[in-house]
Structure 1
Amino acid sequence: MPAYLPRLVDDQLTRGLRSAGAVVLEGPKACGKTTTARQQAASLVRLDASPQLRVAGQVDPGLLLAGETPRLIDEWQLVPEVWNAVRHSVDERQASGQFILTGSATPTDDVTRHTGAGRFSRVRMMPMSLLEQQRSSGEVSLRALLDGEAASSAGSDLDLLGVAQLLCRGGWPGNLERELGDAINANRDYLATIAGADIVTLDGVRRDPRKVSALIFALARNAGTYVTNRTLQADITGDGQNLAPRTLDSYLDALARLWLYVEQPAWGQHMRSSAQVRRAPKRHLVDPSLAAAALGATPEALVADPETFGQLFESLVFRDLSIYAQAIDARVFAYQDTAAELDAVVVRGDRWMGVEVKLSGRAEIVDGAASGMLRLAERMRTPPSALAVVTATGPSYRRPDGVVVTSILDLGP
C-alpha cells in the first residue's frame, strides 16, 4: 500500500469527532474519503462490499453500529436507515466521536432531515489540491494574505505543459502513481460510470446516460463561467440530445448530489455603488480533470488552445482555493457587476480578498488584472485585506501597488 498523503480535512475530521457524536465525511467518489476516515477510525464496515450486509442492515441497522469507536460506516447512503440508527445511538451514548459516516452521494432530504443539534458534524471533502499532491510549495498562505501579509517565492521550474499535465491528471489519489495517459483514461471511465450507473443507483430514477453525458459535456465546455440553463440546453441540443427545463434541473440536482457538479456562489455584500450585481453562480465540475476528460483534451491540446486552458485553469484555482479556504474557515465566491468582475472572492469573517486568475504572469497581463482590481476595490464599502493575481507559473511577490502575484504552485492554506 502506498504511504498515506495527509489531507487538509484530517484536522477538520478530528475537530468534528471532538465536537459531535458523529461526523459525516462527504464528497465525490474516489476522492479519498475512506482512506482518510480509516486513519482515525477504530473499526469499520464497508456497505459497498457486501450485498448481504446491506440487506441485513436495512432490516436491523443497529447491527452495523457494533464495534470500537470511532466506528466507520463507509458508503452509508446505501443503507439510509443507518442515519436514524446512528442518531438514536448518539443520543443514548451521550459521547463525542462515536461514528464516521462516509458517503459519495447525498440521499434525499427526507432521510437526513432529523439531524439534531450536536449529533452530526459535516465535513466536505474534495479531490486533492496541488499542495496535498506535494506539487505546491505552500509558501504563499491564504490565511496570511487575508491577514494582510505576503510571502515571496522564486517559484517552481514547472512550465505551462507541466501545469496542463497536473490539470489533466486531476486530484484523484488513485491517479497519482499512474502514467499520465492511464490517468486520463481513468477520468474518462469515471465520467462513463457516473452517466451509466452511479446517477441511476443514486435514487432509482432512470436517467438517459446519453443525456447525462451531454450535460456533463456542456458543463465542461462552460466550466468556470456564469452559464445559464438556457445555454446548457442549447449545448445539449447541439450534442443531439434534448432536456426540458424541469428535467435539466433534475439532472443538475442529481450531479450535485453525487458531488460532481459544484457552484461558486455570487458575492456582492460590500458594493457601494448602485451597479447591478450578478446573483447567479459560476458553475464547475468538481475537478478540472473531469472537464478535460469530457472535452477529450490532452495537455498538449490545452497548451495549443489558451482560451480553453485558461478556462479550465480557473476551475483548477477554484478547486484549490475552496480546499484551502475550508481549512481556514473561509469561503470562496465570485463577483461581477455591470462594470467589473473578480474571478474569486475569498471571505473569512469580516475580511475579504479579491482574486484574478491568469495563465500567464507576463507583466502586461498582470498589470491589466491588477489595475482592474484596484479600481473595483475603490468602489467597495469595505476595503480588501488583499488583492491577488493567481498565475500558472512564475515567481510569487508583492507589487509596489500592493497587489500580490502568486503562482498556484506556491499557494496553500
Structure 2
Amino acid sequence: MENKYLKRLIDEEIDKYLEMIGAILIIGPKWCGKTTTAEQHSNSILKLQDPDKTKNYLKMAEIKPSLLLEGEKPRLIDEWQMAPVLWDAVRNSVDNLHEQGLYILTGSTSVDESEIYHSGTGRIHRLLMRPMTLFESNESNGKISIIDLFKDPDLNIEGIKSNLSIEDLIYASCRGGWPESLNLKTREGQLFVVSSYLTNICESDVSKVNGVKSDPNKVRIILESYARNISTLAKNSTILKDINANYEDISKPTYYSYIDALKRLYVIRDIPAWSPNIRSSTAIRTSHKKEFIDPSIAVAALDLSPESLIQDLNTFGFIFENLCIRDLSVYTHSNGGRVSYYHDRYGLESDCILHLKNGDYALIEFKLGSNEIEKASKNLLKLKSLINERNMRQPKFLAIITGGEFAYTHSDGIKILPIGCLR
C-alpha cells in the first residue's frame, strides 16, 4: 500500500517560488524527503540515481545535457549534482524560455562551485529542507504559531496544552524527523532508520563527497565526539584534542576534511554568535555552537536509546536544544528565519536569537523542565535591559521553550512555550 504523503511546511514555499522564478533547488540531508516533496510539484521526473539508467544519463550529460531537460514542466531533476553540467543547462534553458516554474532540482550534497560556470542568481532559487518538525510529524498540536507571536507579542496563549510527555520528546528525538521512519509500524524499525543513515554517512557518503576513500571508523569517532559537544561552544581544536586523547591520532587536515564533508552533506551545522554592539568585541564569545541537522544523529552517534536518556535528562537537555533549533528553523523559514546565540564573559546569554528577514528578532532560552524557568527568565530580562541601555532595536518577544505541559505568560511578560504546542 502506498504511503500517505505528509504535507511539509516547505510545500507552500515551493509553490510560491515556482510562480516567481525559472527554477528552484531543494537542498538538504539525504532521507529528509526532498524527492518525495518535489514530486508533489512536478509533472515529469529525471532520477539520475536510477541504476538502470545512470550511465546513459551521465553520458548524455557529457554530450548534450539539454536533452535531459526535455519533459513536461515543472521537470524534477533529482540528485542533479551527479552531473554538475546540468546546472548551467538549466540556467541557459531558463534564459531562453523566459518562463517561471520550469525546473525543480534536488541535491543531498553541496557542489564544488568550480564545476559550474554561473551562480544561477535570478534563475535558480535555493531552498533548504530539513527533517520533519514535530508539527509536520503530527506530534505537536501546532496551536501556537511562532510567526503569529512575532506579529502579536501579546497573543493569548494561556492554558494551551501540549500532549507530549518527556518520554514522547525523548523518543521523537531518538527517532528523528526522517519521513521513512514514520512509515514503519514498529519502534525497532523507526529507530533503525537513523542508525542506517549514520552507517551510510560513515561508510560511503563522506568518501563520495571528498572524492577519496575515507576511514569509516574515523568518521564515526568524529561524529561521536561532535555529538558529545552538541549545543556547546566547544572549539574544533578541543574536539580534535578529545579525539586524539581517547581514541586514535587523527591529523588536523583529516579532521577538517571530514568536518567539511559532513557540512556539505548537511549533517552538521554551526550556529553563529550574535554580535550586537552592546559589549566590547573582546567580551562576546564568537565560537560557533555545535548542532546537527537533526538531533537523532547525535543520539545514534552516541549509541543512546530512549531508555538510557530517560535516566540521563542532563544529556537530553542538550539534545532537546537541538530539537528546538531544528523546529524553529523550519517554522520561520518562509520569513527568512535564521538562528544565532548570545554569550559573553560576564555570563549573560541567550540560547537562541531567532531572526526574521525584516529585522525582527526574539530572545529565547531552552529549558527541558520548569525548575530552571525563573533563572532563565532573569537572564533574558538582563539581556533585554542591556539592549535597552544601548538604544538598540528591541526584541519582539522573549520566550522560554520547554518540554512542559502548559503554555502561559510569566509575570514578567516572558512567554513559556511547550515545544509540543508550536508550529
**TM-score exceeds 0.5:** yes
Alignment-derived partner of residue 188 in structure 1 = 195
Alignment-derived partner of residue 366 in structure 1 = 373
1:219-253, Cα deviation, whole Å (9 max, x unpaired): 11111111101121023224523322233222111
Instruction: Give the letter aligned to residue 169 of structure 2.
Output: V
Instruction: Give the letter aligned to residue 167 of structure 2.
Output: L
Alignment-derived partner of residue 234 in structure 1 = 241
The answer to whether the Cα contact below 8 Å between 2:32 and 2:178 also exists between their aligned partners in 1 is: yes
Alignment-derived partner of residue 57 in structure 1 = 61
Alignment-derived partner of residue 410 in structure 1 = 421
Aligned mates of 2:396, 2:78 — CA distance in 1:
41
1:127-184, Cα deviation, whole Å (9 max, x unpaired): 0000111111111211122232332343224321111011111000000132222222
Aligned equivalent of 1:389, options 376, 400, 403: 400
Task: Look up the SS of the partner of 1:154 in the other structure.
Answer: coil
1:202 Cα deviation after fit: 2.0
1:141 maps onto 2:145 in alignment = yes
1:272 Cα deviation after fit: 5.5
Instruction: Give the letter aligned to residue 352 of structure 1.
Output: Y
The answer to whether the Cα contact below 8 Å between 2:30 and 2:108 also exists between their aligned partners in 1 is: yes
The answer to whether the Cα contact below 8 Å between 1:354 and 1:387 also exists between their aligned partners in 2 is: yes
Aligned mates of 1:155, 1:116 — CA distance in 2:
46
Task: Look up the SS of the partner of 1:262 in the other structure.
Answer: strand
Aligned mates of 1:69, 1:239 — CA distance in 2:
54
Alignment-derived partner of residue 360 in structure 2 = 351
Aligned mates of 2:246, 2:71 — CA distance in 1:
51
Aligned equivalent of 2:132, options 128, 134, 137: 128
> After superposition, where does 1:260-299 map in structure 2 within 5 Å?
260-269=267-276, 271=278, 276-299=283-306
Task: Look up the SS of the partner of 1:29 in the other structure.
Answer: coil
1:79 Cα deviation after fit: 1.1
1:19-67, Cα deviation, whole Å (9 max, x unpaired): 2211000000000000110111010010011322233323322221000
> After superposition, where does 1:1-400 map in structure 2 within 5 Å?
1-49=2-50, 50-52=53-55, 53-112=57-116, 114-147=118-151, 148-150=153-155, 151-178=157-184, 179-269=186-276, 271=278, 276-339=283-346, 340-348=348-356, 349-362=358-371, 365-380=372-387, 381-400=392-411
Aligned mates of 2:54, 2:359 — CA distance in 1:
49
The answer to whether the Cα contact below 8 Å between 1:19 and 1:121 also exists between their aligned partners in 2 is: no
Aligned mates of 2:364, 2:282 — CA distance in 1:
20
Aligned mates of 1:233, 1:145 — CA distance in 2:
41
Residue segments in structure 1 that go unaligned for 5+ positions in a row = none
Aligned mates of 1:237, 1:351 — CA distance in 2:
43
Aligned mates of 1:113, 1:307 — CA distance in 2:
49
The answer to whether the Cα contact below 8 Å between 1:272 and 1:379 also exists between their aligned partners in 2 is: no
Task: Look up the SS of the partner of 1:57 in the other structure.
Answer: helix
Instruction: Give the letter aligned to residue 226 of structure 1.
Output: L
Aligned mates of 1:239, 1:45 — CA distance in 2:
46
1:16 Cα deviation after fit: 1.9
TM-score scaled by length of structure 2 = 0.93
1:210 Cα deviation after fit: 1.3
The answer to whether the Cα contact below 8 Å between 2:141 and 2:163 also exists between their aligned partners in 1 is: no
> Which has the higher mean CA deviation after the structures are superposed, 67-76 or 278-287?
278-287
Task: Look up the SS of the partner of 2:420 in the other structure.
Answer: coil
Aligned mates of 1:73, 1:401 — CA distance in 2:
52
Aligned mates of 1:94, 1:242 — CA distance in 2:
55
1:350 Cα deviation after fit: 2.6
Aligned mates of 2:67, 2:281 — CA distance in 1:
59
1:203 Cα deviation after fit: 4.2
1:306 Cα deviation after fit: 1.4
Instruction: Give the letter aligned to residue 155 of structure 1.
Output: K
The answer to whether the Cα contact below 8 Å between 2:274 and 2:342 also exists between their aligned partners in 1 is: yes
Aligned mates of 2:158, 2:139 — CA distance in 1:
17
Aligned mates of 2:159, 2:266 — CA distance in 1:
34
> Which has the higher mean CA deviation after the structures are superposed, 294-303 or 47-56?
47-56
Q: Percent identity?
A: 36
Aligned mates of 2:234, 2:281 — CA distance in 1:
24
Aligned mates of 1:241, 1:17 — CA distance in 2:
49
Residue segments in structure 2 that go unaligned for 5+ positions in a row = none
TM-score scaled by length of structure 1 = 0.95
- Residues 1:57 and 1:235: Cα distance change in structure 2 (over 3 Å): same
> Which has the higher mean CA deviation after the structures are superposed, 255-264 or 182-191?
182-191
The answer to whether the Cα contact below 8 Å between 1:145 and 1:386 also exists between their aligned partners in 2 is: yes
Instruction: Give the letter aligned to residue 104 of structure 1.
Output: S
1:102-144, Cα deviation, whole Å (9 max, x unpaired): 0001111213451243111000000000011111111121112
1:275 Cα deviation after fit: 6.6
Instruction: Give the letter aligned to residue 391 of structure 1.
Output: T
The answer to whether the Cα contact below 8 Å between 1:214 and 1:241 also exists between their aligned partners in 2 is: no
Alignment-derived partner of residue 401 in structure 1 = 412
Instruction: Give the letter aligned to residue 72 of structure 1.
Output: L
1:268-313, Cα deviation, whole Å (9 max, x unpaired): 2252667711122111111001110111111121111111110101
